């Protein structure tokens, strides 16, 4: 299977600590890099992780709280200093556009490449990016400012050729694509070889959902159909449920409830409040509801 990974660059919340950096992730899919959120220090984390600046073409910002976007202008500036020429696409709520334009005009004169802004309607569930192998769709969330999550979905692939059967029937290479697309093969004597004898089923498409800052949404799982791995913010444990409700955040147990109801295979926790020096309290609470859950940490690389 082609690589489909998530690189954790930062998994803390608004108050910096010596343990965690603000939120940022990079999704790696079939040789392309997609960034989700860009908290302070993100570009340094990319350096540490040996992720290629030049392969990053798209940045998805969930909302305009500083711990999710303060690192963006610094990274844009660095790309200019490195001589970037390729367009950098930014997807974010409309409110960020004016601020970003002013920052670029003030700090990044003669940038040398285009920063193209794509306004995201955080109230809609829709596809906002598509290429030959992947789609990215928005997931409306409920936070204090406009906020959305993102789902990265692989497109279905063609079935795998059974090489031994191709050799056995001496099928020419010119027919491989036809067979992958479902055709039977007719031998020179007129015998028809059924397609299912020549191929193995394609790999099931994978999907990664990133649910940024949000209060608990009991119906959220309905938008996560087919998701393989779910990241869901888990700022608080149940001892701070009142804080979660006040500031529109979620507890680890609430994140686990979404994972359970969405029937995902794996849950990732993050966006930890600085009040928890040991995040295992969040992990233990989540495991009471959903078993396959893990804490994210900086420099983690997680297979979707």
- Per-residue pLDDT at 169: 86
One domain for residues 165 and 70: no
Q: Which of 37, 67, 213, 300 is catalytic?
A: 67
Q: Is 148 helix (H, G, I), strand (E, B) or coil?
A: strand
In a shared domain, residues 269 and 193: no
Give the chain's domain count: 2
Q: Residue 101 is encoded by which pair of tokens?
A: 């334009």
- Reference 234, options 253, 220, 209, 221; nearest CA is 253
> What tokens does 83 get?
């001589």
The answer to whether 301 touches 3, Cβ cutoff 8 Å, is no
CB 184 within 8 A of CB 59: no
Residue 289's CATH number: 3.60.15.10
Do 82 and 218 sit in the same domain of this protein?
yes
Residues 174 and 31 in one domain: no
- Paired tokens of 195: 């397609």
Same domain for 190 and 79: no
Q: Which residue range forms the structural domain that includes residue 256?
A: 4-157+203-303
User: Are 194 and 223 within one domain?
Assistant: no
pTM: 0.92
Please say if 67 is a catalytic residue: yes
Residues 252 and 272 in one domain: yes
Per-residue pLDDT tens digits for 220-249: 999 999 999 999 999 999 999 999 999 999
Residues 39, 175 share a domain: no
* 211 and 181 both lie in a single domain: no
Domain boundary (144, 179, 200) is at: 200
Nearby residues of 193 by Cβ (< 8 Å), 6 or more positions away: 165, 169, 184, 185, 186, 187
DSSP line for 181-206: TT--EE-TTS-EE-GGGTEEPPPPPP
The list of the chain residues with pLDDT below 50 reads none
45 with 184, same domain?
no
Are 38 and 186 within one domain?
A: no
Q: Do both 55 and 185 map to the same domain?
A: no
Count CB atoms within 10 A of the CB of residue 200.
11
CA dihedral (172, 174, 176, 179) positive or negative: negative
């Amino acid at each position: 299977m082609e690589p489909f990974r998530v690189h954790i660059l930062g998994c803390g919340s608004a108050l910096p600590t010596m343990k965690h950096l603000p939120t940022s992730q990079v999704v790696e899919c079939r040789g392309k890099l997609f960034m989700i959120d860009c908290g302070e220090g993100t570009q340094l984390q990319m350096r540490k992780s040996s992720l290629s600046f030049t392969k990053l073409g798209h940045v998805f910002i969930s909302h305009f709280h500083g711990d999710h976007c303060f690192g963006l202008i610094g990274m844009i500036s660095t790309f200019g200093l490195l001589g970037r020429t390729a367009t950098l696409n930014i997807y974010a709520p409309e409110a960020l556009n004016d601020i970003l334009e002013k920052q670029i005009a003030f700090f990044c004169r003669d940038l040398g490449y285009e920063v193209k802004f794509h306004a995201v309607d955080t109230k809609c569930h829709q596809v906002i990016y598509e290429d030959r192998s992947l789609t990215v769709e928005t997931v409306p969330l409920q936070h204090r400012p406009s906020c959305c999550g993102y789902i990265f979905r692989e497109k279905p692939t063609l079935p795998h050729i059974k090489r031994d059967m191709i050799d056995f029937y001496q099928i020419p290479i010119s027919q491989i694509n036809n067979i992958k697309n479902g055709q039977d093969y007719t031998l020179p004597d007129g015998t028809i070889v059924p397609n299912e004898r020549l191929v193995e089923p394609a790999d099931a498409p994978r999907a990664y959902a990133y649910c940024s800052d949000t209060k608990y949404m009991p119906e959220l799982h309905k938008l996560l159909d087919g998701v393989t791995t779910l990241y869901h913010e888990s700022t608080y444990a149940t001892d701070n449920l009142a804080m979660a409700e006040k500031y529109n955040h979620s507890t680890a147990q609430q994140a686990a409830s979404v994972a359970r109801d969405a029937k995902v295979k794996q849950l990732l926790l993050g966006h930890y409040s600085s009040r928890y020096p040991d995040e295992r309290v969040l992990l233990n609470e989540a495991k009471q509801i959903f078993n396959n859950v893990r804490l994210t940490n900086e420099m983690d690389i997680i297979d979707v």
